[in-house]
Structure 1
Amino acid sequence: MTYDIGALRAQFPALRSGVAFFDGPGGSQTPRPVIDAMADALAHPLSNRGSLTAGERAADALVTGARAALGDLLGADPDGVVIGRSATQLTYDFSRTLAATWEPGDEIVVTTLDHDANIRPWVQAAAAVGATVRRAAFDPDSGELTAARIAAEVGERTRLVAVTGASNLIGTRPPVPEIAELVHRAGALLYVDAVHLAAHARLRLDTLGADFAVCSPYKFFGPHLGVLASRPALLETLRPHKLLPSTDRVPERFEYGTLPYESLAGATAAVDFLAGLADGTGTGAGAGRADDRPARLDAAFAVLAAHEEPLRRRLETGLAGLDRIRVHSRAALRTPTLLLTIEGADTRDAYRFLAERDIAAPSGSFYALEASRGLGLGDTGGLRVGLAPYTDEDDIDRLLAGLGEFIAGAA
């Protein structure tokens, strides 16, 4: 199969701006089918869910369709798919709900590799009930977070381990299935932040070994939402705070207020667009066919990896030829996301320099404060370069040229 990058890029109106986007880890650009799906949802009758009026039926169909699509994406039962405002909000909600089952002396394990959204909610929830927080540190030299590092912090009082599926800062992909085995042997639950991973790898809740996994559709072409996947039977055991008249059904008992129906239409379209990469052309042909969507997602992520991996090698080779660049993304298994620092220069200046040349490669710690500090970069972080399905060779060459020009001027 061939990957027609031109046909794919033509479906992203934002790319007509001429900007080379390397800020995908913070949120991808949006293709036309997703934009149209959201507009279409708002252009037709829409009201609170029900079965009598056209608006009620449309709302119900959008919710049902989104749960099915997101369940396919995450390899989860649609009845275990919870919709929220963001992954951060969902993690806060679930941390408070799970903390109600903890006692003083219980232990929670977080990692220094994670985004703060998978650290602070657990730290704060543990403090509220007198539980102890333990931290598993990654190796700053290799960028690796091994199962052994997690195992060293897990004990008989461990109730939950929170770990990233992939670092949003340096791309490291910890061995989550291996971690899941040791966590479950200890009788604990595993909460996986899959926000960064979901844009680059095929996920299945059971294969991952996660009891809970969260992601955000705006990282993979969709609107700004949060999604949590779990087993319906596990969700049945949890009792969140809720309004008296709101339903107690799972997964609805975890959802507050009216869902954003137009965004759910966009989330479904985003999953279908991803599945459309399976034809190898990048045109999204066949989008909307839900009957074979899981198989097409399998194929799509294989095609996507075959596109991103050569681009990552091209980028790394080019960076190796530039003076004073240090790449902090070194793990053996990682996403195509690189964190750079420049000897003798501030990457915030490089960010501004590149932005003036229509190259979006932001600088910061990107809420991964503990990871940035673990790398010795403090809260400043570095320049983050993330590849996306619409990245092409010209983008890579523009970035390398821009960095070269910046370094020469900063000497």
Structure 2
Amino acid sequence: MVLGRRTFDVEAVREEFPALGRRYNGRRVAYLDGPGGSQVVRGAIEAVAGYMTRGGANLHGAFVTSRETEEIIAGARAASAAFLGAEPDEVAFGHNMTTLTLAISRALSKGWDGNTEVVVTEIDHRANVDPWTLAAADRGTSVRWIPVDAETLTLDLTNLDELVNERTKLVAVNLASNAVGTVNDVARISERAREVGAVVAVDAVHAAAHIPIDRDALGADVLTCSAYKFFGPHVGVTAIRRDLFETLAPYKLAPGPSHAPDKLETGTQNHEGLAGVEAAISFVSSLGGGTTLREGIVSGMEAVEAYEAELAASARARLREMPGVTLYASPDGVRKTPTIALRLEGRSPLEVCEHMSERGIFVAGGDFYATTLAGKLGLDGSGGFVRAGLAPYNTAEEVDAFLDALEELAVP
């Protein structure tokens, strides 16, 4: 596929993912379950194994393996900062996005009370809802919801100025829906939040694998993602605006560091995983060009987005013509990730997924923790969606195989 002056070489990309060689039921596997976790790039696998093979160690030792571990953490911090548009001393790591958000919510909520409010959205994954609503309940803080338009699958910002007001302490919103792929207008929401002095917490878990991210351009104060969604191992990453991070007082052990970003990193970190994080981000940068890591990342993600968008657009066009299919997607012209959510008349999501699995096509079913959205669409209690998510290693042939298999079930 030609992207401007560059060619996106999907076969070269596929060579970097060993898992793509797997076969199931005599067929080459098509991994269309990327929204639940991407496959891991070879460089990240080798970095994880290399760290463990050479010998790992904890920090602050006078010996070489300890110093090497500290260098790995510093490298992962610098790479993650470049990936998210932040500075290295604003980046902290944890088990995953959910764990980090729970810890951050407990720290931020110390100043909340019954006269304050937090705002969450109806389109978000529960990981960017429940940590804030649970903290609010503990403090007697009120919760407001930005509604989702069930027809357009976009956030309804008509009453944004009322929802985000002088009592608002925090607004939580995802950059892109992990269920239906809608990319939200975070910058507009952040602009309103700044007017009233509210903190903005952005869940970028789903978006990170598909679009370039610039924390400051989005207006985020806290931006969190997980490397296992963008070709790396299971490590959570957060980038917190420095002035906020310096005042943050997370729960930690008494001997632990009191300075950012270390004060958020309780316990021993996943050192081998952090080696894989830097390698995964280097892979993303290799897909682009430029003279800096950040330039490579941005142009690489732009190439990924363009390639995936073309595949997804053709798939959605065919699905709209397929009998019995209900496609859950925002209108043409609304920016989306290549995440395709649907229902097939007369078949449960589980039946569709099992049918696909027999053919070596891996898709997922459920509400994917976007429970409020599923409820608004009348899908709670009925299995949720069938979700097929594309990645830069997926091909047009794999998408066609998925659609052909779906048509087998759709025939009356």
Task: Report TM bin, short chain.
Answer: over 0.9
1:112-147, Cα deviation, whole Å (9 max, x unpaired): 100001111111100001000111111010011143
- What SS does structure 1 have at the residue aligned with 2:254? coil
The answer as to 2:408 corresponding to 1:405 is: yes
- What SS does structure 2 have at the residue aligned with 1:83? strand
Per-residue deviation, 1:244: 1.2
Query: How many pairs does the alignment contain?
Result: 399
Alignment of 1:206-245 (within 5 A): 206-245=216-255
Larger displacement relative to structure 2 (71-80 or 379-388)? 379-388
| TM-score under structure 1 length normalisation | 0.95
- Equivalent residues of 2:121, 2:145 under 8 A apart: yes
Per-residue deviation, 1:306: 2.1
Q: 2:258 maps to which residue?
A: 248
AA in 1 matched with 2:351: D
1:311-332, Cα deviation, whole Å (9 max, x unpaired): 1122112212311111111241
The answer as to 2:46 corresponding to 1:36 is: yes
Task: Determine which of 187, 195, 208 is the counterpart of 1:177.
Answer: 187
Quote the sequence identity (%): 39
Alignment of 1:245-324 (within 5 A): 245-278=255-288, 292-324=292-324
- Equivalent residues of 2:364, 2:387 under 8 A apart: yes
Per-residue deviation, 1:344: 2.3
In structure 2, what is the Cα distance between the partners aligned to 1:100 and 1:38? 37
Larger displacement relative to structure 2 (48-57 or 165-174)? 48-57
In structure 1, what is the Cα distance between the partners aligned to 2:149 and 2:8? 36
- Equivalent residues of 2:146, 2:156 under 8 A apart: no
- Equivalent residues of 2:356, 2:362 under 8 A apart: yes
- What SS does structure 2 have at the residue aligned with 1:278? coil
Larger displacement relative to structure 2 (217-226 or 330-339)? 330-339
In structure 1, what is the Cα distance between the partners aligned to 2:220 and 2:139? 24
- What SS does structure 2 have at the residue aligned with 1:152? helix
- Over 3 Å counting, the alpha-carbon distance change for 1:328 and 1:166 in structure 2 is same
Alignment of 1:184-195 (within 5 A): 184-195=194-205
Aligned residues: CA RMSD: 1.3
Q: Which runs of 5+ in 2 are unaligned?
A: 1-5, 23-27
- What SS does structure 2 have at the residue aligned with 1:213? strand
1:42-66, Cα deviation, whole Å (9 max, x unpaired): 1113211226210111110010000
In structure 2, what is the Cα distance between the partners aligned to 1:69 and 1:358? 35
- What SS does structure 2 have at the residue aligned with 1:174? coil
In structure 1, what is the Cα distance between the partners aligned to 2:117 and 2:392? 40
- What SS does structure 1 have at the residue aligned with 2:111? coil
In structure 2, what is the Cα distance between the partners aligned to 1:321 and 1:102? 51
The answer as to 2:80 corresponding to 1:73 is: no
- Equivalent residues of 1:314, 1:396 under 8 A apart: no
The answer as to 2:336 corresponding to 1:334 is: yes
- Equivalent residues of 1:103, 1:130 under 8 A apart: yes
- Equivalent residues of 2:75, 2:278 under 8 A apart: yes
The answer as to 2:372 corresponding to 1:370 is: yes
In structure 2, what is the Cα distance between the partners aligned to 1:300 and 1:149? 37
Alignment of 1:2-151 (within 5 A): 2-17=7-22, 18-50=28-60, 52-151=62-161
- Equivalent residues of 1:81, 1:228 under 8 A apart: yes
In structure 1, what is the Cα distance between the partners aligned to 2:250 and 2:301? 35
1:361-381, Cα deviation, whole Å (9 max, x unpaired): 111001111111111211421
Per-residue deviation, 1:149: 4.5
Runs of 4+ in structure 1 deviating by more than 6 angstroms, as ranges, are none
AA in 2 matched with 1:339: A
1:14-33, Cα deviation, whole Å (9 max, x unpaired): 11111111110000001211
Q: 1:347 maps to which residue?
A: 349
In structure 2, what is the Cα distance between the partners aligned to 1:221 and 1:300? 14
AA in 2 matched with 1:217: A
In structure 2, what is the Cα distance between the partners aligned to 1:32 and 1:4? 17
In structure 2, what is the Cα distance between the partners aligned to 1:50 and 1:134? 45
- Equivalent residues of 1:45, 1:54 under 8 A apart: no
In structure 1, what is the Cα distance between the partners aligned to 2:250 and 2:40? 34
Larger displacement relative to structure 2 (42-51 or 329-338)? 42-51
In structure 2, what is the Cα distance between the partners aligned to 1:351 and 1:233? 46
In structure 1, what is the Cα distance between the partners aligned to 2:160 and 2:228? 30
- What SS does structure 2 have at the residue aligned with 1:148? coil
- Equivalent residues of 1:198, 1:220 under 8 A apart: yes
- Equivalent residues of 2:103, 2:251 under 8 A apart: no
- Equivalent residues of 2:147, 2:156 under 8 A apart: no
Q: 2:3 maps to which residue?
A: none
Per-residue deviation, 1:105: 2.3
Q: 1:282 maps to which residue?
A: none
In structure 2, what is the Cα distance between the partners aligned to 1:348 and 1:152? 41
In structure 2, what is the Cα distance between the partners aligned to 1:263 and 1:7? 25
